Homo-oligomer: A and B are copies of this chain.
Amino acid sequence: MTASFHPPQRTLLGPGPSDVPARVLGALARPTIGHLDPLFVDLMDDIKRLLQYAFQTENALTLPISAPGSAGMEACFVNLVAPGDTVIVCQNGVFGGRMRENVERCGATAVMVEDAWGDPVSVDKVGEAFAAHPEASVLAFVHAETSTGARSDAEALCALARQHGALAIVDAVTALAGIPLAVDAWGADAVYSGTQKCLSCVPGISPVTFSERAVERIQARERPAQSWFLDMQLVMGYWGGGSKRAYHHTAPVNALYALHESLVMLQEEGLEAAHARHKRNHEALVAGLEALGLSLVVAPEWRLPQLNAVHIPEGVDDAAVRAALLTDFDLEIGAGLGALAGKAWRIGLMGHSSRERNVYVLLTALAAVLGQQGHSCDAGAAVAAARASYGA
């Protein structure tokens, strides 16, 4: 017989999921009600409004897709791209490559704009791509690259798309609530995110928002989206509000309780305060890491405060360090992905994980484990540097 599963209490300082606050776990476990219950329908309306705040948008089509961020990505592509289209896809990490896969599975052509892993997307190169491909109908890029910790200039890229009559699809999985993201002010047309990063909700749901221009393009499609589950024309009918609500699928009721609670917490803190908190803890972390003799992959201007890619020092065993942090300290950090596999760690301070205590926990635990590996570190100096960064 298989026994019940009792996970340990980890501190999650990887690329997501981040630590989920007790308030959110409590909401998650409230009694399940029907997905057509009038009270649940009210909850859905609340979630839409709270997501509009998080995305800084008035887009009517703002809702959580009932599946993880990669389904949110796919929802944007299958609804906005049709066979024969040209899409300019920026790749400076793992997720640009996944966008390309999506474009090609839609029967469209992906024009790739590539930048080094750890660099931001080059706005100039995207301008050149538009000049070479005036037929491009969509520009797709990642605002905050989870695989490298690099931010790109989403505002400039959205402006460039608009200037060339293209829609901008923006991956904001790691960006949302961690750094400024102004969907309406920047003119982003389709933006998807995930619940398990800076919202500090459980993984499994993907908030999305579509501009009026995007909705017009969806409604003008000659043939329906290739996905039934992700067809926004149908999803809209379900989330569309009021008495017009048409059954599409059974909403993940409890996961939406949790998302609601995490968005209520974001509203209570305020977006600007959340951004400032992420920045403050990031700066302290970097000060401490540098005091340990470590360096970051991304140039200061483009660093994401919520995700820090750190060069693995020579002679240090990547997997052994991560395993020791996990087993000795119940502390998770992320491995490098793709071009950074084996070369970098990804240290996340996302959402509820972005707290002063976690900065100290990480610095002291990492110093201890690096010390075991013969890489001598001064934990005291690291903590002192972090404390100084906080102004202590």
Contact = CB atoms under 8 A, between A and B. Distances in A.
Interface of A: 1-10, 12, 14, 16-17, 19-20, 23, 25-40, 43, 46, 49-50, 66-71, 73-74, 98, 101-102, 105-106, 194, 196, 202-204, 224-229, 247-255, 257-258, 260-261, 263-264, 267-268, 326, 332, 335, 337
21 contacts: A2-B46, A2-B263, A5-B27, A7-B39, A7-B257, A8-B31, A16-B250, A19-B32, A32-B196, A35-B203, A37-B332, A67-B229, A68-B229, A69-B249, A70-B248, A73-B229, A101-B228, A196-B250, A203-B250, A203-B251, A226-B226
Given A29-B29, A250-B194, A34 B12 contact: yes
B227 A74 contact: yes
Nearest to A25: B29
Contacts of A37: 10, 326, 332
A29 B28 contact: yes
Copies of the chain in the assembly: 2
A29 B26 contact: yes
A68 B203 contact: no
Given A7-B40, A7-B257, A70-B248, 18 more contacts: A1-B264, A3-B264, A5-B27, A7-B32, A10-B32, A19-B32, A25-B254, A28-B254, A32-B196, A33-B332, A34-B332, A36-B335, A71-B229, A105-B227, A202-B254, A202-B255, A204-B253, A254-B258
B202 A252 contact: yes
Given A31-B10, A37-B10, A39-B8, A203 B253 contact: yes
Contact of A252 (B98, B255, B337): B255
Nearest to A265: B4
A227 to B, nearest CB: 6
A9 B30 CA distance: 9
B2 A224 contact: no
Contacts of A50: 2
Given A8-B33, A264-B4, A267-B1, A229 B70 contact: yes
Given A74-B227, A337-B247, A32 B5 contact: no
Contacts of A202: 32, 252-255
Nearest to A335: B36
